[in-house]
Structure 1
Amino acid sequence: MNSRYYTEGLIAVFLFGITPVFIKEVSANAFTIGIVRLVIGTAFLYSVVRVSKLKKLSKQDWKGLIYIGLLFGAHWITYFISVKLSTPSIAILSVSSFGLHMIYLNWIINGQKPVLPDLIAVAVALVGIFLIVPEFNLENDLTAGILVGLVSAFFFAVLPFVQRKHQHIDSMTRAFGQYAFALVVFLAFTSESNWDLTQQDWIFLGILGVVCTVGAHTLWLRASTMLAPTTTSLIFYLGTPVAMITSYIFLNEEMNSSKLIGASLIVSANVFSAYRKRLKKG
């Protein structure tokens, strides 16, 4: 394992962990946050990706980039809404269920049936979700935030299958397409965006755009390209405790025993599933 890429992955996950705090604190809504972050990300990657590379892409390649961008856009919109409705730690916990979505998606897409340990992992995660939900009432913002977060996790889980199908396109070009076409998704909701923002809001949006988008996602893209998928999955789940700690410190989010136990079950189920795959491949 290349320690450089492992370190880059850890830095990226730390940034992913603190990102929901800024999303929660900025008064801009989910659509405004997405537009600003994607404009910054698209502009940066366009300056990095050579125009000659874009001109060499076939129609099928462009279709692939469109699919990747639309999935990423759907994932981001639902993720931001989840953060706004619930809390940073609850949102990232919900999205962390993407590893469990991948179990049945792998069955549907690749024909690999889940085995008993996979089903046990799903059951454990469901118990964890049950523990962190205050009440099963859609009028409760926390419950609604969890459900939206689970939808976001589904889009996030589908993304690697589409990325793998188009891995012949170099990673930076795929990242550019991911941002550019995700931006199209957000621009469709321009009328819902809000721009009556304070100076602090713009500072937070700048941090989200430069540090949490260009910085974090560029590092993650490099790390996830060079490291084994199971390794990146295990690293990703470290973002959950980071989000919970920063949310507790900076937003005074309540951390009761039920939430902590539920979080531990969800993360443990996902880590167990990823670690099993690693051992199987090893």
Structure 2
Amino acid sequence: MNEKNHLNNLMLLTIATLFMSTSGPLGKFIDMPTPVIIWWRCILSVIFLFAFCLYKGIDLKIANKKDRSTFFIAALFMGGHWIFYFYALKFSNVAIGMLSLFTFPVLIALLEPLFVKTKFDPMHLLLALMVLVGIYILAPEFNIESNQLKGLLFGLVSALCYAIRILMLKGHVTKYNSTMLMFYQVLILSIVLAPSLYFMGTASITTQYPYILMLALITTTLGHTMFVNSLKHFKASTASIIGSTQPVFGIIIAYFFLNEIPTIHTFIGGGLILATVVVESVRSKKV
């Protein structure tokens, strides 16, 4: 019975990873201005997550003013992460956008001593060097006019925003339910990004709404909730290793649905970046 439960949990974690990996192909495919896509993603996720919190009886109370400030700033970093990530996908392709984002575990490892009282680990410098080599191989040409390079740089900025957001939440608000955290972040972003509807327009939602719905429900609400829930059954390191297959799933989906064929540089550079994620995940068994 235990073996069966383990296989079921493993399957659910893999499905969660697959759901989250749809962010790349959907972000590339949806034909709307990026801030407008993110606004729709947020406002629909607010509805889905609020309904889920009510259904599960999750407490939505924020304890104090300091935590409210942390929520707000972390939400802005999450918004930066999503916006830069989607620009990375638009400029380059799903492979480069997703692989450049997956430098974030190494960025977290490098930045962590600045946020919490942990000693700097020299091994993280070696991992960062491996990531840099991976990025160098991934970049087709170091020409600032190149859309591929712009996509790579946007992906790296997105990874930095994501790493800071994770470290902020980890350091200050560990006492809250993760779904409740996500609810407040998408709520804040839907308010902050609302002016983009006026300046950029949202008329094209009439043709794009099925894909926006998928992004909000499958990628954001289901993917996130299922992945967080998997941490009850697996070590964070195990979940991180399985989670690091997101770019692989994303590249496969993009191949079949967007006809994007990765280059040999993508395979080698991406393989090096994902190898560092696996190494760091295996080393961080502090759960």
User: Which of 30, 33, 40 is the equivalent residue of 1:29?
Assistant: 33
- Indicate yes or no: 2:23 matched with 1:19: yes
Please name the residue that 1:242 is paired with: 249
Q: CA RMSD in A?
A: 2.4
CA shift digits 1:199-256 (9 cap, x unpaired): 5422211211222222212212323466433223212211011111122222222322
* Residue correspondence of structure 1 range 94-243 to structure 2 within 5 A: 94-164=100-170, 165-197=172-204, 200-224=207-231, 227-243=234-250
Please name the residue that 1:38 is paired with: 42
Which runs of no fewer than 5 residues in structure 2 stay unpaired?
none
What SS is found at the alignment partner of 2:193?
helix
Cα distance change, pair 118–60 in 1 and its aligned pair in 2 (3 A): closer
Normalized against structure 1, the TM-score is what?
0.89
Distance, in Å, in 2 between the alignment partners of 1:213 and 1:52 is 18
User: Is the Cα contact below 8 Å between 2:22 and 2:215 reproduced in 1?
Assistant: no
Moved more, 57-66 or 237-246: 57-66
Distance, in Å, in 1 between the alignment partners of 2:78 and 2:205 is 28
User: Is the Cα contact below 8 Å between 1:89 and 1:240 reproduced in 2?
Assistant: yes
User: Is the Cα contact below 8 Å between 1:133 and 1:146 reproduced in 2?
Assistant: yes
- What letter is aligned with 1:28? M
User: Which of 51, 76, 92 is the equivalent residue of 1:86?
Assistant: 92
* Residue correspondence of structure 1 range 266-281 to structure 2 within 5 A: 266-278=273-285, 281=286
User: Is the Cα contact below 8 Å between 1:65 and 1:177 reproduced in 2?
Assistant: yes
CA shift digits 1:176-203 (9 cap, x unpaired): 1121112233224334434232754222
User: Which of 254, 261, 265 is the equivalent residue of 1:258?
Assistant: 265
TM-superposed deviation, 1:5:
4.9
- What letter is aligned with 2:25? V
Which runs of no fewer than 5 residues in structure 1 stay unpaired?
none
What SS is found at the alignment partner of 1:49?
helix
- What letter is aligned with 1:132? L
Distance, in Å, in 2 between the alignment partners of 1:16 and 1:259 is 20
Distance, in Å, in 1 between the alignment partners of 2:161 and 2:60 is 26
User: Is the Cα contact below 8 Å between 1:74 and 1:185 reproduced in 2?
Assistant: no
- What letter is aligned with 1:107? P
User: Is the Cα contact below 8 Å between 1:125 and 1:266 reproduced in 2?
Assistant: yes
Normalized against structure 2, the TM-score is what?
0.88
User: Is the Cα contact below 8 Å between 1:61 and 1:169 reproduced in 2?
Assistant: no
- Identical pairs, percent: 25
Distance, in Å, in 2 between the alignment partners of 1:192 and 1:82 is 22
Number of aligned pairs?
280
Please name the residue that 1:71 is paired with: 77
User: Is the Cα contact below 8 Å between 2:58 and 2:180 reproduced in 1?
Assistant: no
Distance, in Å, in 2 between the alignment partners of 1:222 and 1:8 is 9
- What letter is aligned with 2:154? V
TM-superposed deviation, 1:263:
0.8
User: Is the Cα contact below 8 Å between 1:78 and 1:148 reproduced in 2?
Assistant: yes
CA shift digits 1:159-186 (9 cap, x unpaired): 2222222011222321211211122332
What SS is found at the alignment partner of 2:282?
helix
